Amino acid sequence: MENSTVIITTLNGAWAEPNFMFDLFLKCFHDGIETERLLSHLVVITLDEKAHARCQSLHPHCYEIETKGTNFTKEAFFMTKVYLNMMWRRIEFLGTVLEMGYSFVFTDTDIIWLRNPFNQFYNDADFQIACDFFNGDSNDLNNFPNGGFAYVKSNEKTIWFYKFWFNSRIAYPGKHDQDVLNNIKMNPIIQDIKLKIRFLSTTYFSGFCELSKEFNKVCTLHANCCGGLEGKVNNLKMLFQDWAKYMELSNQTKLDAHPSWSVPHGCK
């Protein structure tokens, strides 16, 4: 974008299967409110050859990264060694993006974009991140972050922070990036460098853990608190159907309506 911001997601072979997660992710940009134009700023980071080939058939901006000694093609089940390696490779790569001078919005591919979210970001934050559960105070470090969605500005503070975050994995062996972030977010050294952290409200940046009731405000919806790739996809399809029904209503009917989501359902 004009301010050197890119939208980034990661993709492996399992999530790139036809008529599955990646297709649904791209569809939401085409069908969302003021989101289609954002596709030109979306870079898909592919983690294996299968995902890269599939990405190239659907999207113009695909970038393959290599991780020696690890095959990310199959579904990476939560907290397995492959899953942890994938999550930390992601943090390492995003740090290099900041070093290149690019700010980014990172989004997991199991997040549906229903509206352009940029007007809901905080101007004063260096690092702002979604939550599984939001306590109502965007400045409160006691919020529990969800690493699947974040907006990070490229500056000396965030470049340092991503290196610190990545290196902190050594102090917390067997933990994934989100848990490590939760452990280090109150470290005095982060306060010393004056890194401004803010947490995004689940009213606008929602998920299955804490669903937004505000159909007229919600921007993104994450299939968090839902284990298993097939369960995520099935629930996101149902979510999209709920959204489509809402969008078919007249403007006046939308104001008077009290819609609700039919998800999550049948998650592990």
Asked whether residue 167 is domain-assigned, the answer is: yes
Q: What is the CATH number of the domain that holds 73?
A: 3.90.550.10
Amino acid 165: pLDDT: 94
3-state SS of 115-163?
ECCHHHCCCCCCEEEEEEECCCCCCCCCCEEEEEEEEECCCHHHHHHHH
Contact, 5 vs 104, CB < 8 A?
Answer: yes
- Residue 13: which domain range? 5-203
Structure confidence by residue, pLDDT tens digits, 82-93 = 566 777 888 999
Number of domains in the chain: 1
Lowest mean pLDDT among 1-5, 28-32, 65-69, 211-215: 65-69
Compute CA distances 213 → 90, 158, 221, whole Å: 31, 33, 11
Amino acid at 160: W
Position with higher pLDDT, 106 vs 173: 106
Q: Tell me what pLDDT residue 77 has.
A: 45
Question: What pLDDT does 76 receive?
Answer: 45
Residue 98 has pLDDT above 90, yes or no: yes
pLDDT of residue 79: 43
Q: Please report whether residue 52 resides in a domain.
A: yes
Contact 158, 127 (CB under 8 A): yes
**Domain membership flag for residue 226:** no
Tell which wins on pLDDT, 267 or 250.
Answer: 250
| Spatial distance between the Cα atoms of 90 and 69, rounded to a whole number of angstroms | 16
Reported as a single tens digit per residue, the pLDDT across 31-81 is: 999 999 999 999 999 988 999 999 999 999 999 987 655 544 444 444 455
With a CB cutoff of 8 Å and minimum separation 6, the contacts of 34 are 115, 116
Give the rounded percent of residues in the chain with a pLDDT score beyond 90.
Answer: 80
Within 10 A of 71 (CB to CB), how many other CB atoms are there?
12
Any domain includes 209: no
Whether 164 is in a domain gets the answer: yes
Domain-located, residue 84: yes
Does residue 240 belong to any structural domain of this protein? Answer: no
pLDDT band for position 102 (cuts 50, 70, 90): very high
Domain annotation covers residue 254: no
